[in-house]
């Protein structure tokens, strides 16, 4: 009779899942995880709802604590922080940072761009910041509490710093005696955080030459804590630094051996992952590193230098050449314009290897001391945080052929932090990842060097990458705008070239007097050189006819075609969106002859393969509006919350 009984139904759990289907194994890991798989949990799915991310970095406070004492500089040099102390404040481009975060994938710790994956690596940290990346992980045992070295954090401060904030003491700003304040240690009863302003007000000195040895090391520890809390490892609190790092500073010689650069990168990775949440309003971490990384490798949002790419480093890190006095013009693009530029990013607009041999010869030894682990595929530890360093996904940044044989993150990897785990011994908790980091030389990624015979491999990689990655964040509007204004330095140079050329040619055409034509041609040539100096124009596919000048037929056609030119007021450059007035559809400011033998025209069949692919992408990419329009997005699926 048992055989005639109907089969028993599977018992359902409280979540509505059959018990037989419940498994303790981790969910399967996608080898090719795109941003679209995150759906509504990523800010890219909410382009019209998210806010502009504000950087929680305090590099301006570092600039307000100047270091001019040779004794103090020698101490920072011993700790490997002399390069960082020489970096100056730069204005953060929050729209650019937000556009980059929208393309950050926490599943791969990389930016998903139309040209492939790109990421900030240990190489960038070492060369831009000049930090030590090789050495023990920045983590230690718990040394504060009952039965430990110090009973409380104020006791630890008194031992290593000589004092701690007193609630009833009024402190005065050394730069402005009229400003005073009272301070207290943060985190309520734990008192595990120090106010950053208290550190600067208490330990700043014009000179440290007359200090005894004990007080000098205490002031040096205070400055290192201040530097970590304001610049290298800032959190979203905006005003405090956790004291967990202070015990590591007890032995300053031992602290100089830690992988501080690896901790900075792990902290930035985690903050980028947190910033992808739709409701997040700010981003912490070393944002200075992120912005300079973008300027070094991408054309988007890059400011103009007084002497482009030729700034003498004088034994300092690469970030030194982006100091404020070197920057001439910082573009103020909007979020939608940066989205559009990243959507249409071409290979020629990317500097895959910005650190040339000339730059390598100028940087200090600390920048190159860990170059043998630049390609290590290992976890990075920053006390309570662990993030994976995956150089195998961005091999092209190291001069190698990108490969499609990539591996996902560790299947059981889970991001945790220190909230609710104040008594956790992180040196024991992360013992597995620390072991992998200690064995980092055994996990070096190898690759095939780039060459002329490997271009087809890059095209194969791009076809594979574009088959699963999310490339476009915007969609075109139904009524695109009819006005235009420049959004970046390169576009402003092109616009100025057009206006100045038109002003120079106008008198010749109106009077038919070509006696001053030689000066006009010389002026146009100077403008063209300025444009070429600021904008990368590949000329490997141009013919010899380009350099021989116009033929007589072309010159005649050119003169006839612009006999009635249209003049645009050159003083309207700062007019904003209406700087180019709407002249109706199909109207050109200059009408050039469309002859088959025009030297400026190059047929598609004689272009290299890479150029043809880029032009094909430009033709097929939807036309997107400039920055005073905010288009919506359907690139990422979004599912609203279901009603229960």
Share of the chain above pLDDT 90, in %: 43
Residues, the chain, total?
644
pLDDT in tens, 630-644: 333 444 444 444 444
Specify whether the CB–CB gap between 343 and 621 falls below 8 A.
Answer: yes
Question: Which residue's structure tokens are 């990368």?
Answer: 536
Query: Exposure pattern of 158-196 as b/e (b: 16+ CB <10 Å)?
Result: eebbbebbeeeeebeeeeeeeeeeebebbeeeebbbbbb
Between 106-120, 413-427, 570-584, the lowest mean confidence (pLDDT) is in 570-584
Rg of the chain over Cα atoms, rounded to whole angstroms, equals 29
How many whole angstroms separate alpha carbon 545 and alpha carbon 595? Answer: 14
Return the DSSP state at 18.
B
Helices (H), 9-69: 59-63
Task: Retrieve residue 389's tokens.
Answer: 């360093």
Return the DSSP state at 11. P
With a cut of 80, say whether residue 54 has pLDDT above it: yes
Higher confidence at residue 304 or residue 252? 252
Helices (H), 80-180: 82-85, 94-101, 122-124, 153-160
Instruction: Answer whether residue 384 shows pLDDT above 90.
Output: yes
Q: Which contiguous run of DSSP H or E holds residue 265?
A: helix 260-275
441-491 residue pLDDT tens: 999 999 999 988 888 999 999 999 998 888 887 765 445 455 555 555 667
- Rounded CA separation 519/515 (Å): 9
Residue for token pair 């140079």: 493
Annotate 386-408 with DSSP letters as a single string.
Answer: EEE--GGG-GGGGTB---S----
CA distances from 416 to 166, 270, 404, 424 (A): 33, 10, 30, 12
Q: Please, which residues have CB within 8 angstroms of residue 164's CB and are 6 or more apart in sequence?
A: 153, 154, 157, 158, 185, 194
The whole-chain average pLDDT of the chain stands at 77
pTM exceeds 0.85, yes or no: no
> Given this model, what pLDDT does residue 575 score?
30
Per the DSSP assignment, residues forming a β-bridge with 181 are 171
Tokens in use for 531? 């444009």
Do the beta carbons of residue 396 and residue 402 sit within 8 Å? yes
Q: 467: which 2 tokens?
A: 């088959």
618, burial (CB in 10 Å: exposed 0-12, middle 13-18, buried 19+) = exposed
CA angle 113, 335, 613 (to 5 degrees): 30
Taking a C-beta distance cutoff of 8 angstroms, is the pair 489, 303 a contact? Answer: yes
Q: Is residue 108 pLDDT above 50, yes or no?
A: yes
Residues in contact with 189: Cβ distance below 8 Å, sequence separation at least 6, in sequence order: none
Strand partners, 138: 382
The Cα–Cα gap between 365 and 356 comes to 16
Q: pLDDT tens-digit profile of 424-445?
A: 999 999 999 999 999 999 999 9
Which residue in the block uniquely carries the two structure tokens 């903050």?
271
Confidence band of 350 (pLDDT split at 50, 70, 90):
very high
Nearest to 289 by CA among 231, 362, 351, 354: 231
């Amino acid at each position: 009779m048992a055989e005639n009984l109907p089969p028993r139904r599977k018992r359902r759990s409280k979540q509505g899942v059959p018990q037989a289907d419940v498994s303790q194994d981790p969910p399967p890991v996608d080898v090719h995880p795109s941003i679209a798989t995150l759906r509504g949990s990523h800010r890219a799915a909410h382009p019209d709802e998210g806010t502009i991310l504000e950087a929680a970095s305090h590099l301006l406070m570092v600039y307000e604590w100047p270091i001019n004492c040779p004794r103090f500089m020698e101490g920072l040099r011993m700790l490997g922080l002399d390069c960082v102390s020489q970096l100056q404040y730069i204005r953060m481009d929050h729209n650019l940072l937000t556009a980059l975060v929208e393309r950050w994938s926490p599943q791969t710790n990389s930016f998903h761009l139309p040209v492939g994956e790109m990421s900030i690596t240990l190489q960038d940290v070492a060369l831009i910041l000049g930090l030590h990346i090789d050495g023990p992980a920045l983590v230690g045992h718990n040394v504060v509490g009952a039965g430990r070295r110090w009973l409380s954090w104020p006791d630890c401060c008194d031992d290593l710093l000589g004092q701690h904030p007193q609630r009833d003491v009024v402190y005065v700003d050394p730069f402005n005696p009229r400003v005073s304040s009272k301070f207290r240690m943060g985190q309520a009863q734990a008192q595990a955080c120090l106010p950053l302003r208290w550190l600067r007000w208490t330990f700043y000195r014009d000179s440290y030459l007359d200090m005894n040895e004990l007080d000098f090391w205490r002031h040096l520890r205070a400055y290192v804590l201040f530097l970590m809390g304001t610049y290298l490892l800032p959190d979203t609190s905006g005003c405090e630094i956790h004291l967990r790092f202070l015990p590591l500073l007890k032995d300053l010689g031992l602290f100089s051996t830690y992988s501080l650069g690896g901790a900075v990168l792990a902290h930035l990775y985690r903050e980028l992952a947190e910033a992808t949440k739709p409701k997040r309003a700010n981003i912490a971490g070393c944002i200075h590193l992120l912005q300079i990384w973008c300027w070094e490798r991408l054309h988007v949002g890059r400011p103009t230098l007084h002497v482009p790419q030729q700034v003498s480093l004088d034994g300092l890190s690469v970030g030194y050449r982006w100091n404020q006095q070197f920057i001439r013009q910082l573009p103020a693009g909007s979020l939608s314009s940066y989205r559009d530029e990243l959507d249409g990013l071409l290979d020629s607009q990317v500097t895959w290897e910005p650190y040339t041999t000339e730059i390598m010869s100028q940087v200090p030894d600390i920048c190159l001391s860990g170059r043998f682990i630049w390609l290590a595929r290992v976890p990075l530890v920053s006390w309570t945080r662990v993030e994976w360093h995956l150089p195998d996904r961005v091999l092209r940044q190291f001069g190698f052929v990108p490969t499609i044989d990539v591996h996902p993150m560790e299947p059981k990897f889970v991001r945790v932090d220190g909230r609710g785990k104040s008594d956790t011994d992180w040196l024991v908790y992360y013992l597995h990842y620390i072991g992998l980091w200690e064995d980092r030389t055994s996990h070096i990624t190898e690759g095939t060097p780039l060459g002329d015979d490997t271009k087809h491999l890059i095209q194969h990689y791009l076809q594979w990458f574009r088959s699963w990655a999310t490339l476009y964040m915007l969609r075109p509007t139904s009524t695109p705008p009819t006005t235009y204004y420049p959004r970046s330095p390169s576009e402003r140079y092109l616009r100025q070239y057009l206006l100045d050329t038109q002003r120079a040619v106008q008198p010749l055409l109106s009077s038919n007097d070509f006696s001053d034509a030689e000066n006009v041609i010389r002026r146009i040539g100077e403008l063209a050189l300025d444009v070429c100096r600021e904008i990368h124009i590949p000329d490997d596919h141009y013919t010899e006819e380009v350099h021989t000048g116009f033929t007589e037929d072309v010159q005649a056609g050119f003169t006839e075609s612009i006999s009635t030119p249209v003049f645009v007021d050159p003083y309207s450059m700062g007019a904003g969106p209406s700087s180019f007035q709407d002249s109706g559809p199909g109207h050109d400011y200059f009408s050039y002859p469309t002859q088959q033998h025009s030297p400026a025209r190059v047929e598609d069949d004689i272009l290299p393969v890479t150029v043809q692919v880029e032009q094909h992408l430009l033709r097929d990419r939807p036309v997107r509006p400039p920055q005073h329009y905010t288009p919506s997005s359907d690139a990422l699926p979004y599912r609203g919350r279901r009603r229960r």
